[in-house]
Amino acid sequence: MKIKSEKQRESLLRTAKTVSEALPYIRQFAGETFVIKFGGHAMGDPELTKSFARDIVLLKHIGIHPVVVHGGGPQIAQMLDRLKIQSSFVDGLRVTDAATVEIVEMVLSGSINKQIVTEINQAGGVAIGLSGKDGSLIKARKLQRTVKDPDSNIERMLDLGFVGEPYEINPRIFDDFLESDVIPVIAPIGIGDNGETYNINADTAAGAIAGALGARKLLMMTDVAGILNKDKELISEILIDEVYELIKDGTISGGMIPKVETCIHALQNDTGEAHILDGRIPHVLLVEIFTQHGASTMIKRG
């Protein structure tokens, strides 16, 4: 004889209510493409990675087409330390010389990419790992970045080495994937006009891919809850013009600025909505997509 406690019954009822609440969103998003940037703390947590993989498989099974773009900064740093290769950062970007870019490509396109692919496949999906170099998926150029000298007020160009920015995405690579059971998992490595290898920020790569595909949603998983107001309260929905106002008054600052700029760029290139989510929360993707109030900040065109 099996007996369910009152607590167990309440938990089951909450689950049933959540499933019921998801139905209209499942119908609304069936057939749509979602570009999901996977990174931050979740990538270093085996349980969160497994949770993420199951959520991606669920999205595919109910008719949504997920495209995963992943980062890997901590793993790159660990490998560089192991090989005793020194690296430095400027404005959050790793200065990437010829020796470093080989390691970056090895880690991103190799061990990390295949780990995520394996997790998705073990969760019941059919994932295939790609680099931005495959099929010239991400064509990139050297990132140009300037810095102003605080004393002379003179700007100078920084040389970040093989750090790139995407200038063209080949969306045809996704045609067969999105019409099949396959889930593409993309390492943010770009290829230059002369065959150079470029290290691309994963947020930037995800935003560029979302814009090129005209994705319904760009979902960026980070280590923060989303955009906070001056009282440190989570903003659940915000328009592009309001984002600029918060940057101007200093409410949005630091590392959040390039993230929201990536979201805005994607929105200005045919992406439907952009979301900044806390990847440290298990199943945050499902909560954001399939519940009325979500669990993150959604940025809209207005």
Domain boundaries, the chain: 33-300
Using alpha carbons only, give the angle 132, 88, 98 rounded to the nearest 5 degrees.
50
d(CA 30, CA 130): 24
First to last CA, the chain: 57
Tens of pLDDT, residues 212-236? 999 999 999 999 899 999 999 999 9
Mean pLDDT of 248-266: 93
Closest CA to 32 of 273, 206, 287: 273
Is 145 a residue whose pLDDT tops 80? no
Q: What is the pLDDT of residue 148?
A: 62
pLDDT confidence tier of residue 1, bands split at 50, 70 and 90: low
Phi, psi angles (nearest 5°) of residue 156: -135, 150
pLDDT confidence tier of residue 150, bands split at 50, 70 and 90: low
The top-level CATH class assigned to 33-300 is alpha beta
Long-range CB contact pairs, 79-82, < 8 A, 24+? 79/103, 79/106, 79/107
Which pTM does this prediction carry?
0.90
Q: What is the pLDDT of residue 237?
A: 94
Average pLDDT, the chain: 89
Is 77 a residue whose pLDDT tops 70? yes
Cβ pair 261, 294 in contact under 8 A: no
Question: Percentage of residues in the chain with pLDDT exceeding 90?
Answer: 63
Using alpha carbons only, give the angle 176, 180, 184 rounded to the nearest 5 degrees.
70
Is 66 a residue whose pLDDT tops 60? yes
Mean pLDDT of 237-253: 94
Token digits of residue 203:
């947020």
Tens of pLDDT, residues 191-206? 999 999 999 999 999 9
Place of tokens 């003179």: 154
